[in-house]
Amino acid sequence: MSEAEERTIELLIGPQHPASGHMRLVARVDGDVVVELRPDIGYVHRTVEKLAEVKTYLQVVPLVERPALADTANHNLGYVLAVERLLGVEAPPRAQYLRTVLAEISRIHSHLYGLGILGIMLGSSTAFMWCFNDREPLIDLAQELTGARLTYSYMIPGGVRRDLPPGFAERAEKVFRYLERRLKDYERLYFRNPVVRARTEGVGVLTREDAVRLGVVGPNLRASGVAYDVREADPYEAYPDLDFHVVTREEGDCAARMWVRVDEIRESMRLVREALSKIPDGPILHERFSKAIPPKWREWMEEKRRVKIPAAMVSLRIPPGEALSRVEAARGELTFYLVSDGSPNPYRMRMVTPSFRNVVLFRHLIRDCRVADIPAIYGSLDYFPPEADR
Amino acid sequence: MMVMLDLLLDLLLSPWVFVPLVYPGLVSAFALLLFIIWAERKMAGKVQMRYGPLYVLKPLGGIIQLVVDRIRYLFQEPIVPEEADAAAFVLAPIALFTACLLPVVVIPVGPEFYAFRSDISLLAFLALSSLAPAFTVAVGWASSNKFSLIGGLREGYLALAYEVPLVVSALAGAALYGTMDLVEMAEAQSSVWGVCLNPLAALVFLLLVYMETSRFPFEISEAESEIVMGPFTEYSGILYGLCMGASYVKMYALSLLFTVMFLGAWHPLPPPTGTVLDPILPGAVVFAKALAVMLCGTLLRAVYQRYRIDQALKISWHTLTPLSLASLALSALVGVA
Amino acid sequence: MRELAERVASELGGESGESPGFAWVRVPPEKMLEAARMIREAGLEHVKAVTAIDRPEEGEIEVVYHASSYEPGRRGVLALRTSVPRDDPRLPSLVGVWPSAEYMEREQWEMLGVVFEGHPRLERLLLPEDFEGVHPLRKDYEVRTA
Amino acid sequence: MVCGLAGTVMVGELERSARSASRWLVERTPLRTLRDWGTAFSLWPVHFTTACCGAEFAAASAPRFDAERFGFLPFVGPRQCNLMLIEGTLTRKMARAAVWVYEQMPDPKFVMAMGACAIDGGIFWNSYNIVRPAEILPVELFVPGCPPRPEAVARAIIELQKRVRRGRW
């Protein structure tokens, strides 16, 4: 054991530790300074890619959502876009708007989940409780639109399953006004709190070159000054006709990542308001599938404003081919690479989630910093282990 | 037989037995423990827009939640890990609890009702209260767990950081009245309270009370999100009850001292009721003020996050120590005038 | 992206094509490092996904790197694909060119057994220890369906 | 107060007799109901999120569904907790960690399996990396749902409290 080895002790911040989520951080610590940290992930590896190869295209929709429970709409959207590009099908405009509305609502309450986790990592149970309490009105909005709290399975290849309930826009407006008022209180207690600023400013700085070199995604990338957002780089669904500008910060430290998420909440609220005001009328399911539905069910669909999934979609066979779809999930860019071989099951589904691309940050960021910085940096990365392990 | 009873009653009511046992001593500390942690969870709940413990006793808002927790600790299996040093593991928390409770003996209850009086009783209090960090380090070492070792060492760092300015600001308070005897100090505050004379010393003293008992902005030795429960990680059952209670009891002792020195101990004096309780009434005023100080101390849990240890040390060495020296100069000035 | 794919294919004697969502260029395994450096100079500085697809009928494993860039103007996705024999899948690791591919290559090694030579830390990532030598994402690894 | 400490400090015969005396005392009905009532209202779950149901468990202790009304305070160390909530899928690696944490917890301890994945694998039933918690831990209560709604978690807590108060554990 060399002399340096002698003085360092190895801290296993294991799966059962308030600062580690579902993974183990093996930290080599010398006194109060962290010499080196190695993430040991794989505790929630539930083999989504292997299971996708034995399920039909429609059965994969709920499977793809489970890993990222805090932000299911964007994962569902990513997979459905990949299938639609394979089929060469486009969802009708109204369905695209509905998808954008649900994706943005899911982004807002996923950011609040991330800010809540950062709050409890810094030690303030109030920030955690406030963030998780203010998630609830948004979950109610999503529940009104789709019927489920978190796992919506709302988007199917070719459209969406339900239409907008009446009076949704007014309720959404009420929730957003409440959230804006709350964000002002957050600034006094949480974001501008002198203790939080002392703990997060200048901690875990990610320079612009490192962020680009390591392929980091999402708010962690935009906090280092790189103005890259898939909604603006490769606009999908209804984003081209909504005026959307990317939120970035320059410093790249924990506070900047926190502030990017706060500004993105405000940005998403504006996007949902605009989408709800400009939503066109029309069918919510692509006619390739809706003409396969027997006429008796079709009036039921118009009258109930819901979709009955046709048999043609359940046993969907896609000719051999491959497609790639990119979606801006709450935690970053989500890539789906789908290879089909004509059978009802996908031949190979590759799902690279944003948290998996942020794993490289642990080893890079948490180096020669304090032991107390480990939870601060971990919380600011908004890293969701089940999504990274898939 | 009756004589025996009277003798016993006199003995119980005599200050030497009453003070350590009942009022500022054991019984009131335990009763306070049960109340203050419940109050903390309820206040944190109120700030966080929720109820806090409720269904234990719904009409009274779950006030006996801590009684229930203590019962659970009592019947929980006290685990002693093999690689831990069994004797030190069990005795250290008991020593820690007594070390935190010991200084309370010096606090006078009334103008002529006190257990221990000497012209340097303030120094006796400070000496006794500086025993506790040593036992926290012992607790941290005894449970042979990396996290608790770090927690214990952190307590060691912090102990140095807060003892020095604490003693200096206490001396500044004493210099106001020119004496170190707590009873004379209390008497001298009949007209104007210590806080108005030297607010700087009071503020510094209060901040250091929060740092010493690891209240929220400085909850570093048992920082939950970094080193699980600090020195008390390996403790379960009633041993953990003792450890968790120790920091609250130390806060109780220090807030009593803060009340006696700065908040005009028992002034305004309650009217004498002529009953046997007569000498103890001033103590009730001191208890009420100390309780107020503790409640606002425990409210900090709902407001602040947690400092890093180097920031906390920087705060105490760079700002609080010079401030306490300045308060010493200020009280010298005020004393002269 | 399409013209970059043609340029790389013409220079290194591969073929290129277009698929929904990305352009691709196929290159024999030994020319992978060269093609990657050329794509890197063209400005695509990070990798979005590294995928290994097991094709038992052709007896080979196809490895696909999806590269792209954050700079405006070069945000399309170019896939660099190659195929290696199934029984001894060896491939030069591209971590030197694209550091962002490190964890994904490690995962593909663990799941499909594609050995990336020169990878700094080719060790276990997601699977528990008792998966020594077993590569679950291969087609011959059965999963209960009933 | 005495019986808690008796097991650790005394030596030889004295310890065995003290242990049997304390057990006899605790089994008597007045003290037994007191212990069950105390344990029922102070169920502290250990902070050990095994999978994605952790989001709904956090929502259950968030202000809207506030599980702390039942004395249910999510706590950090396994030594101080008496309830372990398996939240969602238990993979092989996490199963080892779950068993370690279960063994670290002091004696009156309960296990609750939350979510369809914890009951019988849920949507990942045919995955090669999944373990059913019932096989490795004595599970008291199963909470269905994927993820179960916070009301279901609150209902499970009340159910466990009734069972503990009746002393059947």
Identify which of B49, B146, B307 has the shortest CB distance to residue A11: B146
Chain-chain contact of A215 with C47 (C-beta, under 8 angstroms)? yes
- Looking at residue D2, what is its pLDDT? 41
Could you tell me how many CB contacts below 8 A there are between chain C and chain D? 14
Distance to chain D for B13, nearest Cα, Å: 27
CB-CB under 8 Å, C48 with A326: yes
> How many structural domains are present in chain D?
2
Coil, strand or helix: which one is C77? coil
**Mean pLDDT score of chain C, rounded to an integer?**
88
pLDDT of residue A269: 94
Beta pairing partners, C50 = C65
Residue of B nearest to A374 (CA): B226
pLDDT of residue A257: 93
Best residue of D96, D124, D129, D131 to probe chain C, by most C CBs closer than 10 Å: D129
* Residue D123 and residue D152 in one domain: yes
Pairwise CB contact (< 8 Å): D69 & B72:
no
Q: Does A356 touch chain C (CB under 8 A)?
A: yes
Nearest to B165 by CA among B332, B329, B57, B327: B327
Measured in whole angstroms, the distance separating CA B238 from the mean position of its chain's CA atoms is 20
Give the nearest partner residue to D94 out of A44, A66, A129, using CB atoms.
Answer: A44
Structural domain that includes position B146:
2-336
Where would I find the H helices in chain A?
Answer: 3-7, 48-52, 60-65, 72-87, 93-122, 125-146, 168-186, 194-200, 208-214, 219-222, 230-233, 254-278, 287-290, 295-304, 311-314, 354-358, 360-365, 373-380, 385-389
Contact list in A for residue B147 (CB cut-off 8 A) is: 11
- Which DSSP symbol is given to A318? -
Chain C nearest CA to D124, separation (Å)? 11
| 8 Å CB contact of C145 and D129 | no
In the structure, do chain B and chain C come into contact, i.e. share 3 or more CB pairs under 8 Å? no
Residue D51: what pLDDT?
85
The secondary structure of residue A234, as a DSSP letter, is S
Query: What's phi and psi for A82, nearest 5 deg?
Result: -60, -45
Instruction: Report pLDDT digits (tens) over B36-55.
Output: 989 988 888 888 888 888 88
- Name the pLDDT band for D4 (thresholds 50, 70, 90): very low
Q: What is the pLDDT at residue A189? A: 86
**What residues in chain B have per-residue pLDDT under 50?**
none
- The predicted-structure confidence for C80-129, as pLDDT tens digits, reads as follows 999 899 888 888 999 999 999 999 999 999 998 899 998 888 888 888 88
C7 min Cα distance to partner chain A (Å): 22
Give the one of C21, C102, C125 whose C-beta lies nearest to A323's C-beta.
C21
- The CA distance from A92 to A131, in Å, is 35
Sorted by where each starts, the structural domains of chain A and their CATH numbers stand as 3-389 (1.10.645.10)
Q: Which region among A160-174, A213-227, B166-180, D147-161 has the lowest average model confidence (pLDDT)? A: B166-180
Q: For residue B240, list chain D residues with Cβ-Cβ distance below 8 A.
A: 79-80
Query: What digits encode the pLDDT tens for the residues A9-21?
Result: 888 888 888 888 8
Pairwise CB contact (< 8 Å): B226 & A195: no
Q: Hey, are the CB atoms on A333 and C21 less than 8 Å from each other?
A: no
Q: What's the pLDDT band for D1 if we cut at 50, 70, 90? A: very low
Compare CB distances from C143 to D91, D93, D128 and report the shortest one's residue. Answer: D128
Of A127, A196, A375, the CB nearest to B226: A375
Query: Which top CATH class is C2-131?
Result: alpha beta
Mutate to test the interface with A, among D52, D86, D105 (most CBs of A within 10 A): D52
User: Which residues of chain B have a Cβ shorter than 8 Å from any chain A Cβ?
Assistant: 44, 47-50, 146-147, 150, 216-217, 219-220, 223-228, 301-311
Q: Is the pLDDT assigned to residue D6 strictly greater than 50? A: no
Question: Which residue among D26, D37, D63 sits closest to B48, beta carbon to beta carbon?
Answer: D63
D147 and A63: CB-CB below 8 Å?
A: no
Of A213, A234, A321, Cβ closest to residue C45: A213
8 A C-beta contact, residue B65 and residue D71: yes
Q: Does residue A27 surpass a pLDDT of 80?
A: yes
**Which domain covers residue D114, as residue numbers?**
43-165
Rounded CA separation B214/D89 (Å): 37
Best to test chain B binding among A126, A192, A203, A369 (most B CBs inside 10 Å): A126
Are D30 and D99 within one domain? Answer: no
Pick the residue with more confidence: B222 or D155? D155
d(CA D79, CA D109): 11
Of A168 and D30, more confident? A168
Residue of B49, B52, B236 with shortest CB distance to D80: B236
B226/A9 CB distance under 8 A? no
Interface test with B, best of D79, D83, D164 (most B CBs within 10 A): D79
> In terms of C-beta distances under 8 Å and separation of at least 24 residues, what long-range contacts does B267-276 make, across chains too?
B267/B186, B267/B189, B267/B190, B267/B193, B269/B190, B276/B13
CB contact under 8 A, A324 and C145: no
Average pLDDT for D129-158: 91
Q: Chains that contact C by 3+ CB pairs under 8 Å?
A: A, D
pLDDT class of D169 with cuts at 50, 70, 90: low
Are the beta carbons of B44 and A120 separated by less than 8 Å? no
Contact A214 C99 (CB under 8 A): yes
Strand pairing report for D110-114 and D83-87: parallel
Separation of alpha carbons D92 and A46, rounded Å:
10
- Cα gap B304→A11, rounded to integer Å: 27
Q: pLDDT by residue (tens digit) across D66-115?
A: 888 888 888 888 888 889 999 888 998 899 999 999 998 988 889 999 99
Q: B238 with D4: CB under 8 angstroms?
A: yes
Asked if D20 and D47 sit in the same domain, the reply is: no
CA-closest candidate to residue A385, choices C104, C121, D50, B224: D50
Give partners of B (≥3 CB pairs < 8 A).
A, D
Assigned token pair, B279: 């000498």
Contacts of C72 in chain A (CB under 8 A): 227, 233
State the DSSP string of B318-329: IIIHHHHHHHHH
Q: Are B68 and D37 in contact (CB under 8 A)?
A: yes
Under a CB-based contact definition with an 8 Å cutoff, are residues B301 and B210 in contact? Answer: no
Q: How confident is the model at residue D3 (pLDDT cuts 50, 70, 90)?
A: very low
User: Tokens at residue B201, please?
Assistant: 């010393």
Which pLDDT score, from 0 to 100, does residue B149 have? 87
pLDDT at A1 over 60: no
Q: A246 in contact with C at a CB cutoff of 8 Å?
A: no
Q: Which two tokens stand for residue A328?
A: 């801006």
Q: Which amino acid appears at position A358 of this protein?
A: N
Scanning the structure block, which residue is given the tokens 């300015």? Answer: B165
Query: Measured between CB atoms, which of D4, D9, D70 is closest to B74?
Result: D4
Supply B135's token pair: 């036992």
Contact B69 D71 (CB under 8 A): yes
Does this model's pTM top 0.95? no
pLDDT per residue over A294-340, tens digit each?
Answer: 888 888 888 888 888 888 888 888 999 999 999 999 999 999 999 99
Residues D16 and D56 both lie in one domain: no
For residue D27, give how far its alpha carbon lies from the nearest alpha carbon of chain B (Å). 12
* Residue indicated by tokens 């304090």: A370
Phi first, then psi: give them for residue C116, nearest 5 degrees.
Answer: -100, 105
Q: What pLDDT score was predicted for residue D19?
A: 78
C64 near A CB under 8 A: yes
What subunits touch chain D, counting only 3 or more CB pairs under 8 A? Answer: A, B, C
Residue of B nearest to D65 (CA): B50
Residue B177 corresponds to which amino acid? Y
CA–CA–CA angle A20, A182, A147 (5° rounding): 75
Same structural domain, D31 and D106: no
Interval A31-75: pLDDT, tens: 888 998 999 888 999 889 999 999 999 999 999 998 888 899 999
Is residue D80 located within the same domain as residue D52? yes
3-class SS string, A133-198 = HHHHHHHHHHHHHHCCCCCCCCEECCEECECCCCCHHHHHHHHHHHHHHHHHHHHHHHHCCHHHHH
Chain A interface, Cβ < 8 Å to D = 14-18, 21-22, 42-47, 50-51, 54, 62-63, 66-70, 113, 116, 128-130, 132-133, 135-136, 139, 149-151, 386
Structure tokens at B299: 């409210």
Total domain count, chain B = 1
**pLDDT tens digits along A118-148:** 998 888 888 999 999 999 999 999 999 998 9
Residues 6+ apart with CB under 8 A from A293: A301, A308, A310
DSSP secondary structure letters along D107-135: SS-EEEEESHHHHH-GGGTT-TTEE-HHH
**Cross-chain residue pair C100–A323, CB shorter than 8 Å:** no
Q: Kindly list the residues from chain D whose CB atom is less than 8 angstroms away from the CB atom of residue A22.
A: 49-51, 54, 94
User: Between A125-146 and A93-122, two packed helices, what is the crossing angle to 10 degrees?
Assistant: 160
Q: Which residues of D touch A47 (CB under 8 A)?
A: 124, 127-129
Report pLDDT digits (tens) over A178-209: 999 999 999 988 899 888 999 899 898 999 99
Helix (H, G, I), strand (E, B) or coil at A348: strand
Question: Which pairing describes strands C22-26 and C78-85: parallel, antiparallel, or unpaired?
Answer: parallel
Whether residues C136 and D92 touch (CB distance < 8 A) is answered with: no
